[in-house]
Structure 1
């Protein structure tokens, strides 16, 4: 078969192209064959073990990112230790008890007729009553003690010696029912008298003295009822201003035993203002 020269030429060109393409495909990403070491390229494997590669390149071993399950099993387990609870702060020291306004010795000097056993028994509730009533100056304290000393016969009794019949029918005292005079006679350290006052002091203390008037004379109530009477008549201001005579009139309703009240007051001032 006759083949033209043009066909031979085209076949030669095609062969050349195929040879060039094959050479390019086998040399992608590698150095050209003309520059390569023929010995090295003929024996080097396509892949190398990772360990050999690190050794050949003189790289140190990569650090372990995480331990395997076996390594984790062999590793010692550190027990967690809870932080100790903070020690509780010490409680603040209690405030020291305030000094009593009147000591037992001072009370004995103000009311020299007062029995010694009564001083020991009543000095604390007397001081408590003065604190509650704001009886907090020598003038007020001396006036308060002066009145209580007379009304209670130097703290010997918290119930009036008389029967109370003299108060029967006294509407100014609220004695409107038969027997009110005796039932609500003077009791307590300041001798609260009359149904009306018993009703008021019952509201103040929450104790039903109307139904149980004898409770006013109990030592635990005698000073509480006295400070109620004192405060309800605003006798602190009276002691500060008009003075002991007017205080006596508001406590007793007149001038009964006024000289004794004034003597007690003078002694109280001398003791408390210049201890």
Structure 2
């Protein structure tokens, strides 16, 4: 069901489409992402999270100004200047002490930053995902950067959050909240899902 042409409609380069169509189809079969609506909702979210299937590691190279917009809970004007353009420090601060991560000093936030096509984040999620996929993602975090595990981890998250049910109802807002924790990029996700549905010939 997922072809290179569909992925290219969602912004993938020819090379990235050729890389991911196999892993995505295998993952979709494994997790019963098997109707036009389910596939469209899944691919629309993945295309947004990965910037068109180009990025499988979270980009945390923020300016001071952007830190105050994206992570206002964790930075004030002074600390934003201190942390700006230092992805390892930013991740360690923002993700430290939550999602199973140790404190900022442990750098767990950096080691377990978002990876995969749906950005699995945090030590706890890495452990659960790794257990489900039969690999040790605590010791081998970079496996999530490989095409098959980047796709499988996205299927695992989708299945665990029961997002096929939301996709059947085309509840894109609900899917977005489950993945993002908020509504970041909401309009782009809606547009990408619509593109995917058209490309798949769905209604």
TM-score between both structures, scaled by the size of structure 1: 0.59
Asked if the contact 1:167/1:182 (under 8 Å) is kept, the reply is: no
- Residue 249 of structure 1 corresponds to which residue in structure 2? 177
Asked if the contact 2:36/2:202 (under 8 Å) is kept, the reply is: no
CA distance in 2, matches of 1:248, 1:168: 20
CA distance in 2, matches of 1:242, 1:108: 22
Output one character per residue of 1:137-191: Cα deviation in whole Å (capped at 9) or x when no partner.
Answer: 11110000011101111111111111323433242x1213421110100000110
- Residue 130 of structure 1 corresponds to which residue in structure 2? 28
CA distance in 1, matches of 2:6, 2:50: 18
- Residue 8 of structure 2 corresponds to which residue in structure 1? 108
Asked if the contact 2:57/2:114 (under 8 Å) is kept, the reply is: yes
CA distance in 1, matches of 2:202, 2:165: 22
CA distance in 2, matches of 1:274, 1:229: 24
1:263 to 183, 191, 199: 191
Q: Is 1:153 equivalent to 2:80 in the alignment?
A: no
Asked if the contact 1:235/1:247 (under 8 Å) is kept, the reply is: yes
What are the within-5 Å matches in structure 2 for residues 224-243 of structure 1? 224-241=152-169, 243=171
Distance 1:241 1:274, change over 3 A: closer
Output one character per residue of 1:13-57: Cα deviation in whole Å (capped at 9) or x when no partner.
Answer: xxxxxxxxxxxxxxxxxxxxxxxxxxxxxxxxxxxxxxxxxxxxx
Unaligned stretches of 5+ residues in structure 1 = 1-100
- Residue 80 of structure 2 corresponds to which residue in structure 1? none
- If each structure's helix is expressed as a fraction of its own residues, which one has the higher value? 2
Task: State how many pairs are aligned.
Answer: 172
Asked if the contact 2:4/2:14 (under 8 Å) is kept, the reply is: no
Q: Is 1:141 equivalent to 2:68 in the alignment?
A: no
CA distance in 2, matches of 1:158, 1:250: 19
CA distance in 2, matches of 1:248, 1:228: 16
State the 1:267 CA deviation.
Answer: 1.0
